[in-house]
Amino acid sequence: MFLGVEGVLAQSFARIHKANLFNFGLVPLTIDEETYENIDQGDDIEIVDDVGEGVRNGDTEFTIRVNDDWEATAHLDASERERKILAAGGKLSWTKQQHESDGGAAPADD
């Protein structure tokens, strides 16, 4: 998050790692094995779609572009609550928004 990373691509995520990504406002996107094998260290990877809009709209597929050479599909598996946390920029921002909109009552963490 502090290095300017906006998302993470992987073949799968451990439950706690995925939860931490949501909490920091980082988008956990899964890719298939073929895509994973074709990405090299140092490649420039861009998410072509508007991720913020896609998260808010419930999109599950996003197009990634690698080195302006080829494209692949990445998938987002997120609950409605996780999407709200991502759209807010992370758990801290989401909690603050909840606190402000509920007249000062902060939601309990689950």
HSE at residue 75, side-chain half, CA atoms within 13 A, is 10
pLDDT for 103: 66
| pLDDT tens, position by position, 91-106 | 998 999 888 876 665 5
> Count of H helices and E strands in the chain?
5, 5
The domain total for the chain is: 1
Residue 109 falls within a domain, yes or no? Answer: no
Pairing assessment for the beta strands 45-47 and 61-66 based on DSSP bridges? antiparallel
Residue 2 falls within a domain, yes or no? Answer: no
Residue 23 falls within a domain, yes or no? Answer: yes
CATH of the domain at 26: 3.20.19.10
| pLDDT tens, position by position, 30-53 | 999 999 999 999 999 999 999 899
Mean pLDDT across 16-30: 95
pLDDT for 31: 97
Write out the residue range of the structural domain in which residue 43 sits.
7-101
Angle at which helices 91-101 and 15-23 cross, to 10°:
60
pTM above 0.85, yes or no: no
110 pLDDT more than 80 = no
Separation between Cα atoms, residue 65 and residue 49, nearest integer Å: 10
Residue 107 falls within a domain, yes or no? Answer: no
Residue 51 falls within a domain, yes or no? Answer: yes
Residue 108 falls within a domain, yes or no? Answer: no
